[in-house]
Chain A
């Protein structure tokens, strides 16, 4: 495997291999000295065209724990209109000698373009492209859920596990990546949200859908609910009328948490809008995996860097 642009590029076996490596990396992260020499002498560039402190820090820590040199490149502005084009930026990084480029971009397909352009020789890791994909987020979600469900998770998938993804499916790269990856691992995936934010084409690929969170909770026997962050600009664009109405119908509050029962895990990719898509009662409940997701993000990104850069099994 050279690049990680889309979870669709991962076979079930490849995905499980990354999750298993992540498990080993998480053991490293529990040690006093959280460092491996694996990527010494390699250079990883975090190329962020879009602000995302959380994802950038997670990749930065992951690369550093594998002893790689890390360069953070915050590129502002879009190509053509202003500033430097993606091509020029990429070729600059190539000239500097990047072994891997972690790219976050506001345009869907930017990582795909970079990986297929010939502009860079190194590996390309998609850290979120527009409303398309966020593969490492899906991998860390799968890893977190797998570890929560299985006491010995090694080698296992998510067969028979049912997950509802709730919220703005239409504009969510997290939802797109999770829909594909979770199903690849054997899970049943349900999509829940207002009709304005549930594209038919994605609904068709899911195992079921609902326009009501209450109905989803009572219909699908859910092992996990994954709440998506609501972007407030969606409200002004007329996708739903108000924050209050959204919270009332699709928010995960104490009542719905109780309906879900003690066996259902609560997930959120962060950052959370507390009181909107998720209440404190749900976010901080004992079933919440939110902080584990953050911690596991580092392990999973270490595993991805390891698989792409260490000349692993497929090279």
Chain B
């Protein structure tokens, strides 16, 4: 393994120092130089980013993405670990499938690929999948989710929450009351009424979150809420946390930046689940990310082939890309806004997701002896987003938008996965 020193890197606390890496771990932080010198002047050195929510589409939907292409996009986005949602074909509801996904991630070798197991067999919402078998497999699954679908049956949700306590697992809920969202196409509000697209009411999300935080309280279990999208959801999470309920919450970059006004184009690239909401919701989500009500940014990176988006809105698939733009949007919301700092950035992009997932050797502060998962970004650079990047798909919702910050280097377990903004392999 190579030895190198990041010279004059800016740390999250604003100090400027050298960081030495050898044998996969951080050897020193200080004025020394060891091995190859890499100029890091003007670059912020942060713990490698961790995404709790991606769709890598393999096995089953390899025309959209593979574990390898998704790993490339992740590394370019500054991630050293990503979690792969269970809605593959076959569904990741057995030890065999989650181990296969982990193996594919290890083979790609660019980021740690951590599978998420399905809560119910085939995402069918009827009976529990073998959660224990997945937890005890080589993939060591800790997060379970039927994401894409809601575990809407209250009894099943209660049982799932209680059951995962034996291995300190967490249920990540996709909060969407199915009856309130039949055929729903976009946020229910002024724009949906004008466009004649079936509405997706905020209450469909909020009612499930309200129910589930109470179930988490009753069972004493850990609950994670995927992709919060409404101001009302933020209020419920805030209340639940004050009450001491063990709930964590995520927000996607697109819900921090885009609104339902974009549906006026009828361009299905803006069709996503949960839907883009209003300015007031975006504002509430941003405040919640700053004040700690929302714990993490997670991309919900959801690649789709061209034909699933090049069609009328109602026929199009839900979802958008996110891995290569997430850090820029987090920077926009936390740093460039003047609302927060790089320490908070590290928490929402790395430390907190690692804690929720209980990942070893990930999401640790840059400190001597820790495994060298490090991302260096140039916060002063800007770029105009164009195309799908390393993803196999091109459903890019930020097309043409100028975003701040560029990932320069991604170091995964002491080796460069991305160097000078290019994949190392």
Interface of A toward B, CB cutoff 8 Å: 78-81, 85-87, 105-110, 112-113, 116, 129-133, 170, 173, 176, 199-202, 204
Contact = CB atoms under 8 A, between A and B. Distances in A.
B310 interface: yes
Interface in B166-220: 185, 189-199
B193 A199 contact: yes
Contacts of A176: 194, 196
Contacts, number: 76
Nearest to A5: B266
Contacts of A105: 312
A78 B312 CA distance: 9
Nearest to B186: A108
Given A87-B310, A108-B197, A201-B189, 5 more contacts: A78-B312, A106-B314, A107-B314, A108-B314, A199-B193
Nearest to A202: B193
Contact of A113 (B190, B191, B194, B266): B266
Nearest to B190: A201
A110 B193 contact: no
B196 A201 contact: no
A130 B196 contact: yes
Contact of A86 (B185, B198, B265, B311): B311
Given A130-B196, A176-B196, A201-B190, A112 B266 contact: yes
B307 A80 contact: yes
B196 A131 contact: yes
A203 to B, nearest CB: 9
Contacts of B189: 201
A85 B307 CA distance: 9
Q: Which of B189, B193, B198, B312 has the most CB of A within 10 A?
A: B312
A107 B310 contact: no
Contacts of B307: 79-80, 85
24 contacts: A78-B312, A79-B307, A80-B316, A81-B315, A85-B307, A86-B312, A87-B310, A87-B311, A105-B312, A107-B314, A108-B195, A108-B197, A109-B196, A109-B197, A109-B266, A109-B312, A113-B313, A116-B265, A132-B195, A133-B196, A176-B194, A201-B191, A202-B193, A202-B194
A78 B191 CA distance: 24
Contact count band on B? 20 to 34
Complex A-B, nearest 6 residue pairs according to Cβ-Cβ distance, in ascending order: A132-B196, A201-B193, A109-B266, A131-B196, A107-B312, A107-B314
Interface of B: 185, 189-199, 265-266, 307-308, 310-316
Given A107-B312, A107-B313, A173 B196 contact: yes
Contact of B311 (A80, A199, A204): A80
Contacts of B198: 131
Q: Which of B196, B197, B316 has the most CB of A within 10 A?
A: B196
A109 B193 contact: no
Contact of B312 (A79, A199, A200, A201): A79
A80 B266 CA distance: 17
A203 B190 CA distance: 10
A106 B310 CA distance: 17
Q: Which of A80, A112, A204 has the most CB of B within 10 A?
A: A80
A108 B315 CA distance: 10
Nearest to A110: B312
B193 A113 contact: no
Contacts of A109: 195-197, 266, 312-314
Q: Which of A85, A105, A109, A202 has the most CB of B within 10 A?
A: A109
A202 B311 CA distance: 27
Contacts of B316: 80
Contacts of B192: 201
A199 B191 CA distance: 11
A199 B197 CA distance: 12
Contacts of A110: 312
Contacts of A202: 193-194
B193 A130 contact: no
Contacts of B266: 108-109, 112-113, 116
Given A133-B196, A201-B194, A202-B193, A108 B313 contact: yes
B312 to A, nearest CB: 4
A105 B314 CA distance: 11
B354 to A, nearest CB: 38
Contacts of A129: 196
A179 B194 CA distance: 10
B315 A79 contact: yes
A170 B189 CA distance: 12
A79 B311 contact: yes
Q: Which of A87, A108, A129 has the most CB of B within 10 A?
A: A108
Nearest to A205: B194
A112 to B, nearest CB: 5
Contacts of B193: 170, 199-202
